[in-house]
Structure 1
Amino acid sequence: MSVLVKDSVGGRQSRRIPIRVSGSIAAGSILQPLNSSMIAIAIVGIAAQFGSSSGIAWVISGLYIATAVTAPMAGRLGALLGARQVYLAGLAIVSLGSIVGILAPTVGWLIFARVLIGIGTATQYPNAMTMIREYAERHRAQPRSAITTLTVCSQATVSLGPTLGGLLVGAFGWHSIMWINLPVAAFSAVLVTRFARVGSARITSVRRRELLRSLDVVGALLLLVLISSTMLFLLSLTTDPIWWLIPLWAMALASFIQWERRADEPFIDVRALTRNRALSATLTRTLLTYSAFYCVYFGVPQWLQYSRGMSATQAGLTMLPVAAVGALTTLIASHTYARHGARRTLAVGTGALLIGGLLLASVESSTAPILVLLLVAVVLGIPNGFNNIGNQNLVSSVTSLEEVGTAIGMYRTVQYIGANLAAVVLATTSGRIIGDEGLHRTGWFIAVVGTVLLVGVLISRNMGDRRHAHTR
C-alpha cells in the first residue's frame, strides 16, 4: 500500500482551518488529559476516604484500560456512523460517568465511573482528527495548525491537570475532579454542534446488520484480554506475581494476531502495521515516551505531597510551570515541524526528556529550595509539546483519511498502555510512598528511556518523507 503524504513543511496547501472550527472540534479533547492527570493529586484523598486497598490502583488503571481498548473502536465507529455523532455520544458517556463518580458509595463504583469516563473520552481525539482531515480535504486547507490546536487541548493540557486538580481538590475535595467534567462536556457539545459542520457523513458505508462485523468485536475482546492480562501481571510484580497470567497473555497475543490477520475488517490491522513501518515505529516510540511521561505526572505530585509535605493545592501550583512550558513548546514545536520536519522536532523532545530525567535523579530532594523545584518543572514541560507534535503529525502524514481515525486510536491505545507501565515503574522504583530515593530511581528510568528514544530518532529511517511516504 502506498500513501501520498502532503508536504507538511511548507507544502502545496497554504489555507488554514479556521480557529472556530479547529477550536470547537478540539474542545472536548481536553477531558481525557485532565481526567488522566488530575487523579495524580486526587488519589491521596480518595485513598484516605476508601482506604489504601488494591482497588485504589484500579481507579487509575481502569480508565486507561477502558480507553486503550475503546480508542481504536471509536475511530472505526466514526468512519462507520459519522465522526461528529460518535464524538457527541462520547461526551454524553463522560457526563454519565462523572455523575456516577460523584455519587459513588464504594471504590468499586468509583472504578466503574472511571471506566465510563475512559470509554467516553476515548471517542474525542480520533474523531476530532477525522473531522480535521475531512475539513482540510474538503476545503483544500492544510491541517497542521488545526492539529496543533488539537494537540494543545488534548495533550498539553495533561500538564495542567495536576495544577487544576490541586486547586479543585484543595478547595472542594476529590469529588470536584468529577463534577468539573459536566460543564466542559456541555460546552464542548454546543461548540461542536454549532461550528463543526463536518463529520456527519459516513466515510465507510455499512448496513446496520453488518455493524458488529465491521467493528470486529472479537478482535476488540481479544485486545481487552491481552491488555488486561498485561496490566494485571505487571501490577502484580510489585506484590505477589500472578505467574499463570503469562500463558494466558501468550494465548491472547497469538489468538489476537491470528484473528486480525484473517479478519476482513480487522480491529487493528496487523498486516498494515507490518507494511507501514513509519506508523509502527511511531507507535513504538509513543509507548516509550508515555511510559516516561506519566512517571512525571503520577510521581512528582505524589512526591511533593508525601516527601515535601505540600498540600494538594501547593503541589498543583508547583506543577504549573510544566503546564505553561508544555503549552508554549507545543506552539514552538509546530513551527519547528513546519520548517525542519519530524526528526529535529523529536530530537528536541527526546533530548529534553533525557535532561529532565537526569535532573530528577540528581537534583530533586525533599530539602531542595523551591526555586530548584520550579526550574526542574520548567525543563520537564519541554518534552511534552515537541514529542506530541512530532509523533502525531507523523501518524497523520503516513495514513489516509479512511485510516487516520483508527491509526490515532492506536496511538491513544499505546499511550494508555504506557500510562499503566508508568504505574508499574513507580510501584517498582518507589513503592506506595514516593520518597527521595524512589524519585531518583524514577529519574534514572526516565533518563534511560530518553537516551533510547534520542538515539532511535537520530538513526531512524522512518521519520516520514516530506513529500511521499511509501508503506511496503
Structure 2
Amino acid sequence: MPRTHDPKKDSDAEHLPVSGADAPELPGRFIAPIAFGTVLQPLNSSMIAVALVSIREVFDAGTSVTWLVSALYLATAVAAPAMGRVADVLGPRRTSLAGLLLVGATSALAPFAPDVPTLVVCRILIGIGTAAQYPCGVAMVRHAADRLRARPNNALAALAVCSQVTAALGPTLGGLLVGAFGWSGVFWVNVPLTVVGALVILWRGPADPSARRDRGRLAALWRVDPVGIVLFAAAITALMFWLLSLGETVQWWWLAVAVPAAALTAWWGLRARDPFLDVRLLGRRALSFTYVRTIVTYTAFYCVFYGFPQWLEESRGLGPVGAGLVVLPVSAVGVVSTLLANRLQRRRGPRAALVVGTAALCAAGLLLTVPGAGSPVLLLLLVSAVLGVPNGFNNMGNQRAMYAVTPAERMGAASGLYRTSQYVGANLAAALLALVIGENATDLGLHRMGLSIAALAAVLLATSLVAALRERRA
C-alpha cells in the first residue's frame, strides 16, 4: 500500500545534527575505529593495478584481468547504499564488523583461486565488504555525535584523509607486496588489516542504537527492503556498464535496461512503507543536488587521477615510477587542504568550502593547459600541488552538506549513495578521457582535458555562488 503522510515523521526528518560552535568535537577515542575500516576500499582499488601483470602471467590470461579492477568498482557502487541501508536497520557497528569478516575470509581464500573468473568473484565479495565501511563509518559518526551532542567535523575529516592517503599509497604498498609475496600479497594484506580493524571497533567503536524489542530478526531484515535493493542494483549496474562502454562502442541496450529499472526503483520507493531508496528524501533539493555535484566533482577528479599520469608517461616520458612521484603532491596537498577545509567550514559552513574548492578546481584545470612535453619537472610538481588543493575542500564540503540534510535514521543509505555518486563520476571520467585524450595522451589531449575540467568547475562554482547568495538573502 502507498505510504500515508505523517507530519510528525516529516518533522523528525527535518531535524538537523548538532553543529553549534559551542558544541565540542566528537572525542578522539571514537575516530580511529570509525576511520580505520574506510582505508580498505581505496587500498584494494589501487593496489591491484601493480598486480595485474603478474596475475596475467600466472593464469596465462589476456585482457580479462582488467575485470579485477572493474568488478570491485561495480560491486562498491551497488553495495555501498545497500550496506548503508543494512546499517540503518541492523546497526552500523555490527554491519561494519560483518563487512570486515567478509573481506578477511575472502582475502584469505583468494590466493588459492584456480582461475581469473574465480578471482573476479573474490573481488566482488571484497568490494561488498569494503563498501560497507564508509556508510557505516558516517552512520557511527552521526549516532555518536547526536548522542554526545558533539560536532562531527574532525571525524568526517579523518574519513576523508584516510581515503586520500591510502589511495595514494596503494600502488606503492602493492608493489612492495607483489615483490615480496607475488600477486597474492595484495590479498593477504587484507587479513591482518581486517583483524586489527575488527578488534579496534570492538574495543572503541560506538555502540549501535538499541534495537526494537517488538520485532524479530526476520522482520528487521525485511525492513532493509530487499525488493528495493534488487531494483536499485539492476538500475545502477546497467548504468555503470553503459558508462563503461562510452569510451569504446556505446552499448545503448544497457541504458535501455537502466532507465526502466530506475523508474521501477522510484515507483517502489514511493509505495513501500519503509523503502531502501526514499524517493521523498531525494526530493530535497539540497541532498539531490549534493549527489549531482559529487558526480561532477569526481568526474574532474578522476580525469586528473587517470589522465595526468598517462600524459606524464606517454608524452613527458617519465615512466611509471617518475609519473608516480610527480603526482604524489596531488594526494599530499589534498590531505592538507582537507584539514584547512575542516577549519573553514567550522566557521563558515560547507558552502564556503565548496566555493573555495570549485574555484581552485577551475584554476587547476586552466593550469593543465600550460605544460608541454618539454616542461621541467619542477613545473610539473607545482601543477600537481595545485591539483591537490580542490580535493580536500570539495570532498569535505560535499560530505558535510550530505551529512547536514540527512536524517539520522537514513544516514547509512545516504552515505552509500554518496559513495555511488563518486563511482558514477569515475566512469564518466573514463568516457571523457576517451573523448578528449583518446589512446595516446598528447599535449593537445592534456590541454583539452584541462579545459574540460575548468568548464565543469566553472559550472559548479556558479551554482555554489548562487546558492551562497540565496542563503545570505534568506
Scaled by the length of structure 1, the TM-score of the pair is 0.88
Match of 1:459 in 2: 466
1:312: how far off?
A: 4.2
1:48: how far off?
A: 6.8
1:458: how far off?
A: 1.0
1:334: how far off?
A: 0.3
The counterpart of 1:248, out of the listed 233, 257, 261, is 257
The counterpart of 2:363, out of the listed 352, 355, 367, is 355
- After superposition, the C-alpha distances for 1:117-163 in whole angstroms (9 at most, x for unaligned) are 21011111111112122222222222222222222123554344345
- After superposition, the C-alpha distances for 1:369-418 in whole angstroms (9 at most, x for unaligned) are 22122111111111111111111111111122212122111111111221
The counterpart of 1:115, out of the listed 117, 124, 128, is 124
Match of 1:408 in 2: 415
Native 8 Å contact 1:426 1:442 kept in 2: yes
Match of 1:220 in 2: 229
Native 8 Å contact 1:163 1:317 kept in 2: no
Q: C-alpha distance in 1, partners of 2:100/2:249?
A: 38
Native 8 Å contact 1:166 1:315 kept in 2: no
Match of 2:44 in 1: 35
Give runs of aligned pairs for residues 120-131 of structure 1, distance below 5 A: 120-131=129-140
Q: C-alpha distance in 2, partners of 1:361/1:433?
A: 17
Native 8 Å contact 1:64 1:419 kept in 2: no
- Closer, same or farther in 2 for the Cα pair 1:132/1:434, shift >3 Å? same
1:220: how far off?
A: 1.5
- Closer, same or farther in 2 for the Cα pair 1:379/1:39, shift >3 Å? farther
Larger deviation: 448-457 or 105-114? Answer: 105-114
Q: C-alpha distance in 1, partners of 2:374/2:423?
A: 33
Match of 2:429 in 1: 422
- Closer, same or farther in 2 for the Cα pair 1:111/1:360, shift >3 Å? farther
Larger deviation: 144-153 or 120-129? Answer: 144-153
Give runs of aligned pairs for residues 320-469 of structure 1, distance below 5 A: 320-363=328-371, 365-432=372-439, 434-460=441-467
- 5+ residue gaps, structure 1, are none
1:53: how far off?
A: 5.1
Aligned-CA RMSD value: 2.9
Q: C-alpha distance in 2, partners of 1:403/1:321?
A: 36
Native 8 Å contact 1:336 1:345 kept in 2: yes
Q: C-alpha distance in 2, partners of 1:348/1:385?
A: 10
1:289: how far off?
A: 0.8
Q: C-alpha distance in 2, partners of 1:177/1:250?
A: 37
- Closer, same or farther in 2 for the Cα pair 1:79/1:196, shift >3 Å? same
Match of 1:288 in 2: 296
Is structure 2 residue 144 aligned with structure 1 residue 139? no
Larger deviation: 398-407 or 93-102? Answer: 93-102
Q: C-alpha distance in 2, partners of 1:414/1:203?
A: 32
- 5+ residue gaps, structure 2, are 1-9
Q: C-alpha distance in 2, partners of 1:38/1:297?
A: 15
Match of 2:285 in 1: 277
Q: C-alpha distance in 2, partners of 1:78/1:181?
A: 22
Q: Which amino acid aligns with 2:397?
A: G
Q: C-alpha distance in 2, partners of 1:106/1:433?
A: 32
Match of 1:4 in 2: 15
1:172: how far off?
A: 6.2
Q: C-alpha distance in 2, partners of 1:432/1:104?
A: 33
Native 8 Å contact 2:18 2:149 kept in 1: no
**RCO comparison, higher one (Cα < 8 Å, 6+):** 1
Is structure 2 residue 256 aligned with structure 1 residue 264? no
Q: C-alpha distance in 2, partners of 1:279/1:100?
A: 40
Q: C-alpha distance in 2, partners of 1:369/1:233?
A: 39
- After superposition, the C-alpha distances for 1:297-327 in whole angstroms (9 at most, x for unaligned) are 2333344444445454443333221221111
Q: C-alpha distance in 2, partners of 1:291/1:451?
A: 14
Q: C-alpha distance in 2, partners of 1:354/1:48?
A: 42
Q: C-alpha distance in 1, partners of 2:40/2:174?
A: 13
Q: Which amino acid aligns with 2:151?
A: Q
Q: C-alpha distance in 2, partners of 1:462/1:69?
A: 36
Native 8 Å contact 2:355 2:465 kept in 1: yes
- After superposition, the C-alpha distances for 1:67-102 in whole angstroms (9 at most, x for unaligned) are 122111212211222211110111122223434544
